Amino acid sequence: MNNAAGSLKESIKHLPENIKGSVIRRGEGSPDQKRAATVFGNLFLHVHPVRVHANTLRAGYTLGLGLISLYLFLILVISGTLLMFYYIPSTEMAYNSMKDLEFVVSFGLVLRNMHRWAAHAMVFAVALHMCRVFYTGSYKAPREFNWVIGVCLLMLTLLLSFTGYLLPWDQLAFWAVTVGTNMAAYVPWIGDDLRFMLLGGSEVGQMALIRFYVLHIVVLPLFMAILVGVHFWRIRKDGGLSRPLTD
């Protein structure tokens, strides 16, 4: 009885450090090996390699533009999810739900503007990131495939921006999407079908709104999340970030 009570007391005493040890695993061996094992054993840390080239750490090389794009995407996902609690994708209610958000919901205006400005900033950051990749010649072998993934990410960013534009259902949104989808009709051979498919009909109405909504909140963000994962995985497989050959 004494023994059992003693070991129970011991277990309770060591509970916090046992829990910590099972969540944050540390390795055995030399300090270097320990650090490596800690990185391998942690979901968040293992995104980074254990060792990186010094050039990769130079802030002036990447200007952090890829990560800025990622963080803006995360801000958009979080603020977009919150916006979904208030927004109603119906031609009769969409505009009013945006106005409610601005004038009735606490911090609604902040939420809406956060989403709007992060969206503009993401287009800007992704475009600048692409310029940086081009300027440093990082599209060359073995990174050509990642460049192609990047082009798809740019397309997705622009499509997200375009589909989101219709949702407030104000005059600006209506006419911008009317012009945008009319432009799609000029694509050779498939133009008219493409416009019909985008709008779910021949004019910008309820069918178009629901199509743009589903594309904006499910389809495009899902593709974006998958491709961002592939993009980061490719960076690792291509031997980390590009660097001067002489280094």
Residues that bind ligand HEM (CB under 6 A): 62, 64-67, 69-70, 73, 126, 129-130, 133, 136, 138-139, 143, 146-147, 150-151, 153-154, 157, 228, 231, 235, 241-242
CA distance 181 to 187: 11
157 vs 181 by CB, closer to ligand HEM: 157
> Judged by CB, which is closer to ligand HEM: 122, or 166?
122
Q: Which residues contact 103 (CB under 8 A, 6 or more apart)?
A: 109
- Burial annotation 80-91 (CB, 10 A radius, 16+ → b, else e): bebbeeebebee
Query: Half-sphere exposure of residue 63, counting CA atoms within 13 Å on the CB side?
Result: 13
Estimate to the nearest angstrom the gap between the alpha carbon of 111 and the chain centroid: 18
User: CB 66 → ligand HEM: shortest distance, Å?
Assistant: 2
Please, which residue, 97 or 242, has the CB nearer to ligand HEM? 242
Alpha helix (H) residue ranges in 24-64: 31-40, 59-62
Nearest approach in angstroms of CB 115 to ligand HEM is 16
Minimum distance from residue 145 beta carbon to ligand HEM (Å): 9
Q: How far is the CB of 112 from ligand HEM (least distance, A)?
A: 22
Which is nearer to ligand HEM, 43 or 141 (by Cβ)? 141
